[in-house]
């Protein structure tokens, strides 16, 4: 199997993305405690009870070259405020998803998400040579759907009953950015981060 992902740190003005390791577990729990994010039924944020499995799964997928998970560090106080990852990688199709993204409540509705996505998208398109970057979210996660659309991603559609989570069918909203759209999206994100 060819290796598409390499461990890399991505750094902007406000955030630094560092490859996830087991030593980040408690910091992620602390970040999720800010807003009790694990209580959100339409997303998957780890709690103190689920953090081990959450990190182990991410690292196993990393070992299999399926994902590249990061913790998001706010540079102003060097605090872990969430995580994100490249996932569901298809190197043969130059296709990758950005997902598993969440931030502490105090870091939401700030420039954090725009800069995090700018760093990830720049790496995906300009280093990995991706043809398309995909985003997926739960139909009921309106905040996430709006945030993805604000990035400049276009909604491709809705897959009805896409997955069964805790016995309940989930409708999944799919968004994407094509490499031909990247320069316009990049310009927009750079403007958002700078203002």
Taking alpha carbons only, the member of 141, 81, 79 closest to residue 112 is 81
State the pLDDT at residue 36.
63
For the chain, give the mean pLDDT: 90
Q: Is 19 helix (H, G, I), strand (E, B) or coil?
A: strand
CB 146 within 8 A of CB 114: no
Q: Is 73 exposed, middle or buried (0-12, 13-18, 19+ CB in 10 A)?
A: buried
CA 88 to chain centroid = 12
**What does the pLDDT read at residue 94?**
96
Instruction: Give the tens place of pLDDT for each residue, 116-126.
Output: 999 999 999 99
Residues whose CB is less than 8 angstroms from the CB of residue 123 and which lie 6 or more positions away in sequence, other chains included:
8, 10
Confidence of residue 50 (pLDDT cuts 50, 70, 90): confident
Neighbours of 55 (CB within 10 A): 20
Give me the residue spans of the domains in the chain.
10-194
pLDDT bracket for residue 1 (50, 70, 90): very low
| pLDDT beyond 70 at 41 | no
Residues 175, 138 contacting (CB under 8 angstroms): no
Task: Check whether 12 has a pLDDT greater than 60.
Answer: yes
- pLDDT at residue 106 is higher than 90: no
Mention every residue, 6+ apart, whose C-beta is less than 8 A from residue 153.
Answer: 133, 135, 175, 176, 177, 185
CATH class of 10-194: alpha beta
Better-scored residue on pLDDT, 151 or 105? 151
pLDDT at 194: 77
């Amino acid at each position: 199997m060819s290796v598409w992902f390499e461990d890399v740190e991505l750094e902007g003005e406000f955030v630094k993305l560092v490859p996830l390791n087991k030593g980040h577990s408690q910091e992620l729990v602390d970040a999720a405690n800010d807003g009790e994010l694990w209580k959100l039924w339409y997303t998957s944020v780890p709690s103190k009870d689920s953090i081990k499995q959450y990190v182990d799964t991410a690292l196993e997928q990393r070992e299999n070259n399926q994902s590249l998970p990061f913790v998001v560090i706010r540079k102003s106080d060097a605090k872990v405020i969430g995580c994100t990852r490249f996932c569901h990688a298809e190197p043969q199709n130059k296709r990758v998803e950005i997902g598993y993204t969440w931030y502490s409540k105090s870091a939401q509705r700030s420039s954090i998400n725009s800069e995090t996505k700018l760093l990830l998208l720049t790496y995906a398109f300009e280093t990995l040579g991706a043809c398309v970057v995909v985003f997926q979210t739960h139909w009921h996660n309106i905040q996430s759907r709006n945030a993805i659309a604000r990035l400049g991603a276009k909604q491709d559609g809705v897959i009805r009953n896409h997955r069964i989570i805790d016995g309940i069918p989930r409708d999944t909203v799919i968004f994407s950015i094509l490499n031909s759209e990247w320069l316009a999206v990049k310009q927009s994100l750079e403007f958002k981060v700078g203002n």
